[in-house]
């Protein structure tokens, strides 16, 4: 809800943390433009998944002033397909729809391979 200080306090009070709780905190830091704190959480994680790496890559790109283009999205979709990472693939699909890449040829081709590979 945009309250990063409350999210940090809640995270610190959690008796048990999992990948999801770490990913949520990383995303919160990235959304607030605090890449350094996101990196600190990432470095302290005992285990990472595709969503963790997606958050860090997008945060790094954003921090450097870059946004994913059709080639970035295509690569990520092919990676999700190869890893059979359906949750991450759904997140990328939502991004594709949100930012109007659904009719892009590169993204569409990669999405087709994502659907085929995950079956």
pTM (two decimals): 0.62
**Predicted confidence (pLDDT) per residue in 23-78, tens digit:** 889 988 888 888 899 999 999 999 998 888 878 887 888 778 888 888 888 888 88
- pLDDT for the residue numbered 30: 83
Using CA atoms, how far apart are residues 42 and 23, in angstroms rounded to an integer? Answer: 8
Is residue 50 classed as helix, strand or coil in its secondary structure? helix
pLDDT at 2 over 90: no
- Domain positions in the chain: 4-47, 70-118
- pLDDT for the residue numbered 15: 92
Using CA atoms, how far apart are residues 105 and 87, in angstroms rounded to an integer? Answer: 23
**Predicted confidence (pLDDT) per residue in 80-100, tens digit:** 777 777 777 888 888 888 889
- pLDDT for the residue numbered 41: 94
**CA dist 37 → 11, 59, 60 (Å):** 13, 11, 12
**CA dist 112 → 50, 78, 101 (Å):** 20, 9, 14
**Predicted confidence (pLDDT) per residue in 103-115, tens digit:** 888 888 877 655 5
């Amino acid at each position: 809800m945009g309250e990063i200080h409350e999210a940090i306090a809640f995270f610190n009070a959690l008796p048990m943390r999992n990948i999801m709780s770490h990913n949520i905190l990383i995303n919160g830091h990235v959304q607030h433009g605090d890449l350094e704190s996101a990196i600190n959480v990432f470095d302290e994680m005992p285990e990472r998944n595709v969503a963790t790496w997606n958050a860090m890559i997008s945060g790094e790109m954003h921090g450097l002033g870059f946004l994913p283009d059709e080639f970035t999205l295509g690569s990520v979709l092919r990676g999700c397909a190869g890893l059979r990472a359906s949750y991450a693939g759904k997140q990328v699909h939502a991004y594709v729809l949100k930012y109007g890449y659904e009719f892009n040829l590169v993204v569409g081709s990669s999405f087709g391979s994502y659907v085929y590979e995950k079956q």
